[in-house]
Amino acid sequence: MSFHSIENLSLEDQRLFNQFGKAPRVSIPFEFIHKAFESIVDSHPHITAIRHYDGTTITYQDLERRANILSHQLIQRGLRPNGRVCIVVSRSIELVVGILAVLKAGAQYVPLDGGIVADAALEHIFGDTEARTILCLSKFRAKVEPHALKTGADIMELDAMDPKGLFGNEERPRVVMDPNFGAYIVYTSGTTGKPKGVDVRHRTVVNNLLVEPANMKITVGKNVAQLLNISFDMAQWEMLATLMNGGTLHIRNGNWTDVLRRVDTVIATPTVLGKFAQADFPNIKTVAVGGEPCPVPLAEEWSPHADFWNICGPTEITILNTAHLHKPGELLTIGRPLPNTNLYVLDDDENPVAIGQPGLMWAGGACVSAGYVNLPELTATRFKLDKFAQDGTMMFNTGDLGRWTEDGRLIPLGRKDDQVKIKGFRVELDGVSAAVESAPSVTKACALVINDKLWAFYSAPGPLDEDLMSRIVGKTLPYYAVPTEWLYIASIPLTANGKFDKRKLREMAEAQKGPREAVSSESLASTSPSTAIATDSHTTPSTSTADLEKGDREPDSSSPVALEEEDTKYELPSKNGFHGQRWLRHRFFSLYRRFFSFIFFGNLLAFALVWWKSWGSGSLPLSQFPTAIAVNLLVAVAMRQDHVINFLFWLATRMPTSAPLAIRRQCARVFHIGGIHSGAAVSAVLWWLIFTIGATVNFARGNRDVHIDAGTIALSYLVLALLLAIVGMAHPDVRAKMHDQFEWTHRFAGWTATALVWAHLVVGTNSLKPNTQSLADALARTPAVYLLALITLSIALPWLRLRRVTVRPEPLSKHAIRLHFDFETPIAGKAIRISDKPMREWHAFATIDKPGEKGFSIVVSNAGDWTRKTIDGEPQKLWTRGALASGVLTIAPLFKKVVLVATGSGIGPCLPVILEGRVPARILWSTPHPRETFGDEIIGNVMQADPKAIIWNTRTQGKPDLTALSYQMLKESGAEAVCIISNKKVTQQLVYRLEARGVPAFGAIFDS
């Protein structure tokens, strides 16, 4: 792919522009739709091709025979290759026979639902297509005939011409064709003017529907529903994908459930699918929705039980060009481009935007249709040569806004032509609709601008209080995007294609007069709180009615409501530098590793000096090694001692907020001191290893200058084995997989090693001392003795404060519990170790203290066997040891304002900062079912501290883009830093992504 017009992007964005935008190239097995169908006829002639709702069925062989006979009749009556045939029918086997017959004749079909299509539309389409033949059902002849007479078209009644296909030429027509021949023309609904036809070719249909994902894994034995209006492009997907891949098409009547209970594959709009509960149709295993934004709750309802595909693609690019297989709890996107297609996100000048920035989506490659029928100017405007492919192919302006995620998926941001100006600001109507739809009790919503007023049409159990609705929507939208006119409709009217009928809505609004009855505020406020947090398909946050008085909530960075012009600077910027440079700076040379390196290389230098001074003696001065070992062990142990940790955190946070941010952000990295612990521990082991090797050599040589006995050698190897086990189990990868074994090794091997080091020190000192010196005097003169005494005291000190304390459990849900303690009142940012079996395992949790109240609490959420047992058991007594130690958020006072990002029970460590109120904070909390899991009190604490907080329900909204959201909040609020409390993967990714953009970001270190 060419780099034409992308030079203004960074090198990394240039690479990703090509990587994300160009889908894999794969071979397509057939060039024509009917050839793929014929291959199924040849291999499986007797399987059922179609099952009609009235019980009638037809096999692939019989369907082929009837289509061949009709195709020959069409050719005999003058139909020529590349000609056009309008098919005016209803859902029926005859419709499919007509489609295949037209395709086999090398012509292009135009599907029209005779029961819906208006006379004016028929007249326009017959003339626009210049169709010389009209296929129809006999019941529609009277409707078709007046318009056919005007154009001189020949009418053939499908159900009156040998309907069983008993007579005629059954051979396959031999027509010379080109893959660029037309396959079908689909006309738009025409709700805002004359419908326009989209000219779709064979090459684009077979590309999109014969390979994954758009073939929906349809094969012999799969049952596919035909639900949609036959004039709709997605109906062509239902029919053609089924027949080209060997499935059985089930044609519905007015009883939708009859068909839905028989099939395993469904293609529909979200509005259509939303009429049915997944629990009623466990047989459905594959679902695809498109044609309009998909609500997250719909995706979350179906995805645990079926392959749920969210697709995007206007008719002009052959039904779809992107698809996303949604998994529960994930961010709902429209996925990646289909094979052999391209997708570009461009600005208004048709130049690429940086990855992650919003822009217009242009589609290229094998999906692009031939344009609009008889509309050359419009075609030239929307269809242009693909300057990025430079192979003569076209690209199409979809009119849809979107942006890339960091892993190459597309997030839709509404229609560009849905952007309107309200009070001088840009607003996207899709975003307004979504915000209204997220309000309690509202099931569907649509927003329109009518006579310069912003209208909201909504469906609900009954009319709702408009003032309260305005306040609810105002929590997620800026003031200028809140509707000023509201209209309750029991069931919002839809077009034949299952989309909102905006023409009827306008008519209803203009006819609306007089006051409208509304449900009371009390009734609305009584709605289940959980629904108040759920949000729309574009994942715009909402809040509960109980929090309405706490102020407006600003839209997050993924909100479909456009930001004001002056806020565009808050878009997520590109990362600084190039990838390798960023990796070195923010990962390889992290402060933790610099601390480790400083200690490690300092020890290497010390060893080099010892070696150099002893060069001429022929052996190392082993008597100096115990001091080096003891110093390193003391440092390693002390850096894990609660009182030392608390002192270092206290010292680091003495820096006033008036100091330069560059200095304060370095002080805030005090929690990287684990690098000192690791560096000293590894160095101690290496000193001991060298000592053991040297002592062994001397013992083996019988060196009389160094008195080493066999007992010292044996103890050396035993201690070495224990130290190597401790260091090996502490490696991050090993520790993550074998955490319990790591705990036992550190505890029991550590205690044993300490006792053996004492024995070794005594035995070794006795071996190395002069014969004239007493052992007591030698020990008194050995620095290692005093260092080892400090090590032992440091190890023992926490256990000297081992105690069993009273606990008051407060169940929050079946997934979380809050435990209350009153034996101590900590300051914000502390953590406690608790256990029910102190010799086996310990678990650390952040303490939550309420200002002015005695004691503290912790939040335990389900994250494993121990937490599950604690939640279910509601303990009354637990063990604790040592002092309450400082945690990451102890650094918060170093900053004037912070953004707190938490996932799941990570909100617990954030609560002390939130409740203390000493440091103003914006809050972003992502968790499944926040209110049901953690209760009203924690939700209330968060909202009281930050009325603009984003509480993101991952079960209904998918996974959020934490990077974009936290950056947006940082810029909006003027905060100086972002603090993250999450699991290892999320913490490391978010810290890196923000630091790479110059944002001070802090999260726990998992390396030590």
| 1005 vs 302: which has the higher pLDDT | 302
Block residue for tokens 């011409």: 161
My answer on whether 548 and 469 are in the same domain is yes
Give, rounded to a whole angstrom, the gap between the first and last alpha carbons of the chain. Answer: 45
Last-in-domain residue among 193, 217, 249 = 249
Residue 706 has what pLDDT? 57
Is there a domain that residue 294 lies in?
A: no
Q: Are 767 and 695 in contact (CB under 8 A)?
A: no
**How many CA atoms within 13 Å lie on the side-chain side of 585?**
16
Helix/strand/coil for 313: coil
- At 338 the three-state DSSP class reads coil
Q: Would residue 650 be called left, alpha or beta, if left means φ above 0 and alpha means ψ between -120 and 50 degrees?
A: alpha
Q: Are residue 72 and residue 137 in the same domain, yes or no?
A: yes
For 633-660, the pLDDT digits (tens) are 999 998 888 889 889 989 989 999 899 9
487 with 550, same domain: the answer is: yes
Based on the fold, state whether residues 230 and 359 are members of the same structural domain: no
Q: Which is higher by pLDDT, 489 or 940?
A: 489
Check residue 419 and give its pLDDT: 60
**Separation CA 294–CA 273 (nearest Å):** 10
774 part of a folded domain: yes
Same domain? For 920 and 987 the reply is yes
Q: Quick check: helix, strand or coil at residue 4?
A: coil
Question: Same domain, yes or no, for 738 and 810?
Answer: no
Q: How many domains does the chain have?
A: 6
Q: Say how far apart CA 464 and CA 458 lie, in whole Å.
A: 9
Report the amino acid identity of residue 459: S
pLDDT given for residue 422 in this prediction: 65
pLDDT at 707: 65
Token duo for residue 649: 């955190």
Domain end position, chosen among 212, 228, 249? 249
**Model confidence over 433-452: pLDDT tens digits?**
888 987 877 888 999 988 87
Q: Is residue 723 part of a domain?
A: yes
Query: 58 pLDDT exceeds 70?
Result: yes
Residues 882 and 917 in one domain: no
Main-chain phi, psi angles of 858, to 5 degrees: -135, 155
Q: Is there a single domain that holds both residue 937 and residue 876?
A: no
155 and 50 assigned to the same domain: yes
Indicate if the pLDDT at residue 286 is higher than 80.
yes
Q: Would you place residue 979 in the very low, low, confident or very high pLDDT band (cuts 50, 70, 90)?
A: very high
Q: Tell whether 719 is covered by a domain.
A: yes
> Average pLDDT in the 726-730 region?
86
Is the domain of 16 the same as that of 87? no
What pLDDT does residue 542 have? 30
202-206, 623-627, 789-793: the lowest-pLDDT one:
623-627
Strand order in the sheet with 856-861: 808-813, 816-821, 856-861
Q: Do 70 and 231 touch, CB atoms closer than 8 A?
A: no
Mean pLDDT score, 343-352: 92
Please name the residue that has the structure tokens 């006309």.
187
Is 255 inside a domain boundary?
Answer: no
The SS3 of residue 725 is: helix
Sheet holding 197-201, edge to edge: 154-157, 133-136, 84-89, 108-113, 182-187, 197-201
- Can you tell me the distance from the alpha carbon of 61 to that of 44, in angstroms, rounded to the nearest whole number? 8
In angstroms, the CA 271 to CA 268 distance is 8
What whole-number distance in Å separates Cα of residue 10 and Cα of residue 582?
14
Query: What residues make up the domain containing 560?
Result: 423-570
CA dihedral 371, 373, 375, 376 (to 10 degrees): 50
pLDDT given at position 480: 62
In a shared domain, residues 43 and 90? yes
Higher pLDDT, 5 or 263: 263
Return d(Cα 210, Cα 267) in angstroms, integer: 16
Residue 221 sits in the same domain as residue 167: yes
Of residues 546, 497, 549, the one with CA closest to residue 525: 546
Mean pLDDT value across residues 722-740: 82
- With residue 323 as reference, give the H or E element that holds it: strand 322-326
522/894 Cα distance (integer angstroms): 44
Host H or E run for residue 197: strand 197-201
Write down which residue in 228, 249, 270 finishes a domain: 249
Task: Write down the pLDDT at residue 64.
Answer: 96
Adjacency order of strands within the sheet including 485-488: 444-450, 453-459, 485-488
What is the distance between the alpha carbons of residues 247 and 50, in angstroms, rounded to a whole number?
Answer: 9
- Beta bridge partners of residue 422, listed in sequence order: 425
> Is 462 or 259 the better-scoring residue by pLDDT?
259
Residue 556 has pLDDT above 80, yes or no: no
Contact between 335 and 311 (Cβ < 8 Å): yes
Residue 115 belongs to some domain of the structure: yes
Answer whether 58's CB lies under 8 Å from 94's CB: no
Q: Is the pLDDT of residue 394 over 50?
A: yes
